[in-house]
Structure 1
Amino acid sequence: MRKIFRQADREAYITLGLYVFFFLWWTLFAFGLGAGDPDEYSYVLGLPAWFFYSCVAGYPAVTLILWLVVRRWFADIPLDAANDDERDENKGDE
C-alpha cells in the first residue's frame, strides 16, 4: 500500500512542476515579448509573436511534454487495491 502512496505523491509533484513550467512559459512569452509598444511587435503567421509563442505554440508543446511524462513516469494504479488488501487481511482471520 505504501508503494501506491509514494507513486501518487510522485505523480502529484510532477504534475505540480509541469503546471509551474507551463505558467512560467506562458508568462515569460506573454509579458516578455508583449511588453513595449504594440507598433514594434514582431509577427508569426499574422499573430503577435508573444501570443503565438505563449498560446499557439505553447499549448501543443506542453501537451507533448505532458504526454511524454505520463507515458514515462506515471503508473496505472488499480483503484480497488485497498479493498484487495482488506480482503487478504480478513481471510487470515477466518
Structure 2
Amino acid sequence: MKKGIDWRYRISNKEAMMGVVLAILNFIWWYAFAYGLGSRPVKDYTYILGFPAWFFYSCILGFIVFTILVWIMVKYFFTEVPFDVDEYKKEETE
C-alpha cells in the first residue's frame, strides 16, 4: 500500500460498500413485494396474520430478514479497527 494512506480506509471502504449493497438489496426486496403483490385489485389480496400479503412480505418479513443479515454482516464480516491516532502510531512502530 502507498505510504501515507491509512490501512483503515481500505477496511472502512469495503464495509461501506457491503452496507450499500445490503441497502440496495433491501430496496429491491421491498419494491418487488410491495409493487409486485400490491398492484392487484384489493378484492384479490391474500392476507397473512391479518396483513395484506404484499405488506407482510415487504415490510414485516423484509425487516426481519434484513435485520438478521445486518447482524450476520457485522458479526462475521466487519473488522474492529482502532480510531485513536495514538493507538495507530503505536501499532505502526512495533
Q: Is TM more than 0.5 here? A: yes
Look up the match of 2:68: 64
Q: Which amino acid aligns with 2:11?
A: Q
- State the distance in 1 between where 2:91 and 2:30 align: 49
Runs of 4+ in 1 over 6 A off after TM superposition: none
Q: Does the CA-based 8 Å contact 2:38-2:54 persist in structure 1?
A: yes
CA distance in 1, matches of 2:48, 2:91: 61
- Give the RMSD, CA atoms, in angstroms: 2.1
Stretches of structure 1 lacking an aligned partner (at least 5 in a row): none
TM-score norm. by structure 2 comes to: 0.84
Contact 2:82 2:88 in 1 (8 A): no
Q: 1:4 to 1:50 in 2, by over 3 A?
A: same
**CA distance 1:77–1:85, change in 2 (3 Å):** closer
Instruction: Calculate the TM-score normalised by the size of structure 1.
Output: 0.84
Alignment gaps of 5+ in structure 2: none
Structure 1 position 83, deviation (Å):
3.8
Query: How many positions carry a matched residue from both structures?
Result: 89
The structure with higher relative contact order (CA 8 Å, sep 6+) is 1
